[in-house]
Amino acid sequence: MYKSISLEGKVAVVTGGAGGIGIETLKMMVGRGAKVAVVDIDQQRAEQAVHTLGGDVHAIAVQVDLADEQSIIEMTKKVIGHYGRLDILNNNAAALSPEMAGKDNDVEHMESWLWDKSYAVNVRGAMLVIREFMPELVKSKGNIVNTVSNLALQGHIIQLAYSSSKAALIQLTRSVAASHGRKGVRCNAVAPGMTMTPALKEAFPEHIRLMVEAETLRDQLGEPQDIAEAIAWLASDAARNVTGQVLTADGGLASHVPGFGPFSNMINDTGEV
């Protein structure tokens, strides 16, 4: 492993750490030498994630409700009380249950509770986590990686609450990078496309997955480890000159004109339509 991508001696927090992308990110970080805190709303799942990481790593499980300010304050105290420092913060958690995904449609049909919960967790919660950990990140000259979404960069006819909250998180990313860059703190975001996590497989029917897959420039949708690689790279010294940026990791989905899927099916082996 190149020295610049090593995380040896670093302490990392991953919120939503018991989920698909979260657990893969934790695996990658501990594999590169980091001590980690698995932070999740479900304490039991967080403890299972710690068990999955293995008994020979430095990992703790900490419960948090990102919609509850006091819960966030208590979580940060537990992490710092245990490790004494923080170097890497990955705001990965999001409000994206199957129920929410199924009802998150256009503005005409938006339910207030869904909108409020999306912003309470995805934006306000992330901001509060950053606020509470920032003194430690300034001390360590650490960095923040926020997990957003390629939907935050494009318009869509569904998922209004989720996509707009993630767009707000992008602006939070840029603002934190600007306000704390001279204090030694970097802040970036990773924007995954549709990623084959267990939660996504539960929330989205097969025909929607196939529609998105047809527009992807790879021959498959991304896996959680693909996003974990991007997060771990941004968290490492290899990305020391990168801050205030959004790294889109969507398999090229957002890079081409509309209708790529149908057009690609029309092209023959000689490149003619």
The residues that are catalytic are: 162
206 in a structural domain: yes
209 in a structural domain: yes
- Is it the case that residue 30 has pLDDT exceeding 50? yes
pLDDT of residue 218: 84
Task: Supply the mean pLDDT for the chain.
Answer: 91
CA angle 250, 254, 257 (to 5 degrees): 145
Domain range holding 115?
A: 3-266
Please tell me the predicted confidence (pLDDT) of residue 18: 95
| Encoded amino acid at 161, one letter | A
Is the residue at 255 inside a domain?
Answer: yes
In a domain, 40, yes or no: yes
- The Cα–Cα gap between 90 and 120 comes to 17
154 Rama class: left (phi>0) / alpha (psi -120 to 50) / beta: beta
Residue 170: the pLDDT is 98
Q: Is residue 271 part of a domain?
A: no
Task: Tell me whether strands 88-91 and 143-147 are parallel, antiparallel or unpaired.
Answer: parallel
212 in a domain, yes or no?
yes
CB atoms within 10 A of CB 250: 26
- In the chain, % of residues over pLDDT 70: 91
C-beta separation of 125 from 179 below 8 A: no
Q: Residue 272 above 70 pLDDT?
A: no
Q: What tokens were used for 79?
A: 């992490």
pLDDT at residue 200, rounded to an integer? 66
pLDDT tens-place string over residues 127-183: 999 999 999 999 999 999 999 999 999 888 989 999 999 999 999 999 999 999 999
- Report CA Rg, the chain: 19
Q: How confident is the model at residue 273 (pLDDT cuts 50, 70, 90)?
A: very low
Q: Which amino acid is at 203?
A: A
The answer to whether position 91 is within a domain reads yes
CA distance 146 to 21: 12
* pLDDT band for position 268 (cuts 50, 70, 90): low
Q: How many domains does the chain have?
A: 1
Q: Classify residue 110: in a domain, yes or no.
A: yes
97: CATH = 3.40.50.720
Secondary structure class of 45 (helix, strand, coil): helix
